[in-house]
Amino acid sequence: MTALVFSGQGAQYPGMGKELYECSPAARNVFDMAEQIRPDTLRQCFEGTKEELSVTINTQPCVFITDLAAAAAVAEKGIKIDCVAGFSLGEIAAIAFAGMLSYEEAFRLVCKRAELMDKAAKEHPGAMAAVMKISPEMTEEICSQFEKAYPVNYNSPAQTVVAAAREEIDALCDKVKEAKGKAVKLAVSGAFHSPFMDEAAAGLSEYLKGIVLSEPKMPVYANCTAEPYAGNYKTLIAAQVNHPVRWQKSVENMIQNGTDTFIEVGVGKTLTGLIKKINADVKAVNIENKEGLDTL
């Protein structure tokens, strides 16, 4: 079985998606759709600076549309996809690819998500750090020693990302080092997937009331549960903003359910690296340019 996995915010870089636009008609259609809805998206993706792309209201639409364009290019090759998952923002691309939303509706949803998360980040400043070389359980223990610190991305057996109040992040990183771990502060504009984003999640829940979701055409593994979407889909989409991303468990569950090949689409190869750390026996490749498509 083959899974398509969609990259998230943080992997962006200047020029992303340009080769896909030039070599794949299906990818070009996706990019052109985004440009119609949000003019200047193409310029930001293909020519924007690193600084411009790091602003949340730009990052999310640009990463999302590059993810979706790459997926369209893979589908254009006739590759059969059995299930999907996305890391954080990438989950919206996953639900769109699975037919739960039209690409236009999903892009508008991402633009709203970016606006809400950017607003919450400004009103409730926070910071994030990647914690490595110690277990998730030890990371949880360290976070419990602070008033506003939370494990938010369970990436692999040896990497957990934490979110914390800005005034606590340095002390938290020091605690990680005392525990023989390594902590690297991330260049992000907010403390995502934590209670710092509660207002963004509430706003997204309100926005989703006006949207009709279809049944997914294939299993979509949710960040919140690490299981295929079930129950109230809108609740899962909104809750993802202020709850942890259970990426390691999602990948493990996909493998347990028969997935042996992962194709990462979109920006960079972060997920490919994490998947190989979670299980070295499965095949994982990334598709973000013409070379990747040609070797697929």
- Catalytic: 144? no
- Catalytic: 124? no
Which of 7, 124, 193, 243 is catalytic? The answer is 193
- Residues with Cβ < 8 Å from 274, sequence gap 6 or more? 155, 156, 159, 247, 248, 251
Which of 88, 156, 189, 194 is catalytic? The answer is 88
Residue 164, strand partner residues: 127, 149
Burial class (CB in 10 A: 0-12, 13-18, 19+), 234: middle
CA separation for the pair 112, 107 (Å, rounded): 9
Helices (H) and strands (E) in the chain, counts: 14, 9
- The residue among 65, 59, 5, 11 whose CA lies nearest residue 267 is 11
Whether 164 and 127 have beta carbons less than 8 Å apart is answered as yes
Residue 185 structure tokens: 């502060």
**HSE-CB of 176 using CA atoms within 13 angstroms:** 30
Q: Could you list the active site residues?
A: 88, 193
